[in-house]
Amino acid sequence: MNTLVIYDSQYGNTERIAQAIANALREFGQAQAIHVAQAHPLEFQGVDLLILGCPTQRWRSTPAMQSLLDKVSPQSLSGLAVACFDTRYRAALWMTGSAARRMDRQLRTMRIEPLVPPESFFVSDSQGPLVSGELDRAVIWARKLVKKAEASHLATR
C-alpha cells in the first residue's frame, strides 16, 4: 500500500501526528508525510491511501489546506481511500470546531466518500503540547485505516 499523508502544522503538533501515522503505515508499504506547501495533486498518482491533516483554526482547516482542497479535482481523488484528521482542544465541537469535519464535508461535496469518519487528536493548549497518549492513538488509528482500506479494496473486486 502506498500512503501519502499531507499535513499543515503551526506549532509542530499536527506534524508529529502526521509523522506517527506515516511511520506506522510503513509496516504496510510505502508511506510519507509531506507539508501541504510541498503537496501537488499530481503526487496522488500511484497513491492508494491519502490522509489529510491540519490544526483546527477558527472552526475550520488552515488556509493552506483549504487552498489544496480547492485545487484538487474529484478525478484526481477517484479510486483513492481518503481520511482526514485534525488537532484541536478537547472540548465540545460547538466550542472548537473541527478542521477534519470541514475537510470531510468538502470531500463529500466532491462525491468523495472518506474511508472513515474524521478523527481529532488533542492538544492541551493552543501551542501544544499534544495530550498524553495522542501519538499512540494516532498509530492505532493508522492501523485501523489500513484494515479498512484493505477491506474496502477487497469489497470492490
**Domains of the chain with bracketed CATH:** 3-155 (3.40.50.360)
Helices 134-155 & 13-25 angle (0-180, nearest 10): 50
Residues 42-71 pLDDT 10s: 778 899 999 999 999 988 999 999 999 999
120 DSSP β-pair partners: 86
Any idea which of 113-122, 130-139, 145-154 has the lowest mean pLDDT? Answer: 145-154
3 phi, psi to nearest 5 deg: -115, 140
pLDDT at 96: 86
pLDDT at 154: 47
In the chain, at which residue ranges do the beta strands (DSSP E only) sit? 3-7, 31-35, 49-55, 81-89, 119-123
**Other CB atoms within 10 A of residue 143 CB:** 15
**Other CB atoms within 10 A of residue 140 CB:** 11
How many residues are there in the chain?
A: 157
Q: Which three cell numbers stand for residue 130?
A: 499534544
Instruction: Give the span between the Cα atoms of 84 and 67, in whole angstroms.
Output: 15
In this prediction, residues 111-116 reach a mean pLDDT of: 95
Instruction: Give the span between the Cα atoms of 62 and 80, in whole angstroms.
Output: 23
Buried b (16+ CB within 10 A) or exposed e, 57-73: beebbbebbbebbeebe
Say what the pTM is.
Answer: 0.94
